[in-house]
Structure 1
């Protein structure tokens, strides 16, 4: 059996991980800071011991001070032991003669100390680490000289543990790290909460969309670019899904109606002929009318099949180089032959010189037929203007009519499959596949079809084709 993964909230997930990362980072910083504080404190206290030793030597050899004298007068100088006590450390100070005998100290001399002190003298000044009876110690050694004559030695000793003890500094560091950790956790919590809020709202909206409720209310006042784009994209997606759902419902009704109408007409016409309601020439006319309805139904079914094939790239295209002027003349002529009235005319504006384009002649003629037919349906009478423009690597074909235009709210959906605007839904029969299929055919030959503008004075579509490559 597979164990189901337990899901946790985005706020809890990222807060816990950010907090763990923060604590690990602060722990590393604390370790490095503590080591640095310990080392710096140790060095400073050694320097303080060296200063104490140098100051003692100076006081003992300063002949201008009447209170100082030869080395035997030292006890009067250091009799006040508190004078040499320091806040952080309390070192032991010895003054010894050249033989290593302790002359004086800032503390009572314990038995056996003379021997230990003598063992530290090797004739050189400096700072040494020695192993005491219980724990390591550091000693600073300085010569006492007068007129280049060695009079004795000054030794300043302190335990290593006292030199490295920084409890107060550690406490301050711990307080600082704790404050930073608390502030970091608060910042991470509120930032994660701010990030999780719109994502949670989008997730809730997605559940509503899944249930078929497309009217989602999401705030769009986010200052983060990515969050704003997420919310905006989701709202646009929900709006488009709602439109597609409406289109799907209308498609079922529309296709049923569009296919039912010719079937009903054909059935009625043939039934009249069969029952002898009409005879002779009338019967022949009824049969011709049935054939017309059959052709219409065949055309609609053909559009459905063609669109499905193009949608899965199942229809191959035959690309060849062709003169664009001649291609346009033939397409317009073919369309005009199929028109049974002359209320709408086509005005051509071709290129001055022949230019070759890469195109499938049949597909381009289908696109132009659909554009011209749509333009004619948009106006009762008038002129369709078709203009060719050379744009360098491409050619632009603009088809402009003088019809009533496409409503602003419908323009974003005209290339959606099965979409039919309100102006055509109840006046023109069809499945709403003309423009989507035309756009797919244009893209199949490396071009594109787009709406340039549409207003109450007319509509303009642009077909873009690639120029033929010249060797």
Structure 2
């Protein structure tokens, strides 16, 4: 429809332009011919009045110069407007031209015939000899004849038809190039909807938008497949993590209830049960807290605090729990006091979680540094460890909820909520948590804190 409407508009504008330019060109030719006839009339009559009805031969066959099918009306009139001669056949009624028409300054005039209702153009040129006006050469032609063209319209029709065919072919092939990949993506989306993430889509597309669509869909499919795998692992992991303390508690209490152990040993079993209960309670609290953050119901209370003091206190509290483990913690603060708007408890929660992860990565021995630096509009808190780093294939998923690395999955207990939970807390305070770099020599996590405004 767009192509057809566009071509119709082009054809209409082209026709109007052709008619206009053809009319102007033919009127210019008529002016030249009237001037040429006036000059030749002086030579033909040698300055003497030509007898009425005597037709000079050079008045005939003038239509061919303008590519007209009919001859224009040519009259030679005297100064009073009476017709002296014409190129019309014998017996043609001569016209008496008005003085207003002849004396008008415009050599080209447009008139409307009242009886016929048609527009005509009148072109005149004076016949002069040595400054004296002898008469006029008047040429008259209908507007419809002056604007009538056939060859140009044929060429225009051929051009419009050619453009229509070329445009239709271009639209057809381009739409096929675009619609085919979209149909493939739609079919792949249906497979994903049915739970089949094993899709095959070509990547060789020249159109950047189509390539981006297919590439993004494939990435989304791979991510959905990974998330589906994580969901399955989550169910198994949560079941295992909760089942283990429940089984331990059940066995310990069963032993105490059946008097298998008594006295101090029974008290020790009860203490062990209480520890397992505390672990299970902590996991349930983590799940509840993460669910609260995931629903944007984040209990964050911002208050002004001095960042150096907060980090030193957090580092000191954590170091006490690591005495005798072979882990050395160093907190490098700013050289001057800097106050920020932050939830102090949540800040300590994030830093302690990063320190615990660093300690697990170093397997109980190594150095951890907390470096504070000030940027233009934010503060960076980097936690740097000397562990063995995060495998490359696991790096894109470390902030995904319930994700746990292969080694960590079997070495330490947990739900895989530490880093996602910490990132959500940081973002709720207007900052962020990022993985800066990781390698076999260590890992750096960065917490971004906005400056106080």
Shorter chain as denominator, the TM-score bin is 0.7 to 0.9
Q: Which runs of 5+ in 1 are unaligned?
A: 1-19
Alignment of 1:373-384 (within 5 A): 373-380=356-363, 381-384=365-368
Aligned: 1:44 with 2:25: yes
Change (3 A) 1:392 1:52: closer
TM-score (norm 2): 0.87
TM-superposed deviation, 1:291: 0.9
Query: Partner of 1:71 in structure 2?
Result: 50
Query: Partner of 2:388 in structure 1?
Result: 404
Query: Partner of 1:466 in structure 2?
Result: 450
Query: Partner of 1:349 in structure 2?
Result: 332
TM-score (norm 1): 0.84
How much is the aligned-residue C-alpha RMSD, in angstroms?
A: 3.0
Partners of 2:436 and 2:274 lie apart in 1 by: 38
Partners of 1:171 and 1:324 lie apart in 2 by: 84
Q: Look up the SS of the partner of 2:6 in the other structure.
A: helix
Query: Partner of 1:124 in structure 2?
Result: 102
Retained in 2: the 8 A contact 1:60–1:69? no
Aligned: 1:255 with 2:230: no
Which of 213, 216, 240 is matched with 2:199 structurally?
Answer: 216
Partners of 2:259 and 2:244 lie apart in 1 by: 23
TM-superposed deviation, 1:102: 6.0
Change (3 A) 1:69 1:295: same
Alignment of 1:15-414 (within 5 A): 20-62=1-43, 71-72=50-51, 77-78=56-57, 81-82=60-61, 86=65, 87-88=67-68, 89-95=70-76, 104-110=85-91, 113-114=93-94, 117-118=95-96, 124=102, 126-127=107-108, 129=111, 131=113, 136=118, 137-147=120-130, 153-339=136-322, 341-380=324-363, 381-414=365-398
Q: Deviations over 1:135-178 (max 9, x none)?
A: 74544445545456665554434344322221222222222222
Q: Deviations over 1:295-351 (max 9, x none)?
A: 111111111011111222334222222232332232223223434742323233233
TM-superposed deviation, 1:445: 2.3
Which region of structure 1 is more displaced relative to structure 2, 40-49 or 410-419?
Answer: 40-49
Query: Partner of 2:403 in structure 1?
Result: 419
Retained in 2: the 8 A contact 1:130–1:139? no
TM-superposed deviation, 1:278: 1.0
Q: Look up the SS of the partner of 2:197 in the other structure.
A: coil
Q: How many residues align?
A: 445
Partners of 2:376 and 2:137 lie apart in 1 by: 96
Q: Deviations over 1:114-137 (max 9, x none)?
A: 3xx235676826555363976745
Partners of 2:80 and 2:351 lie apart in 1 by: 120
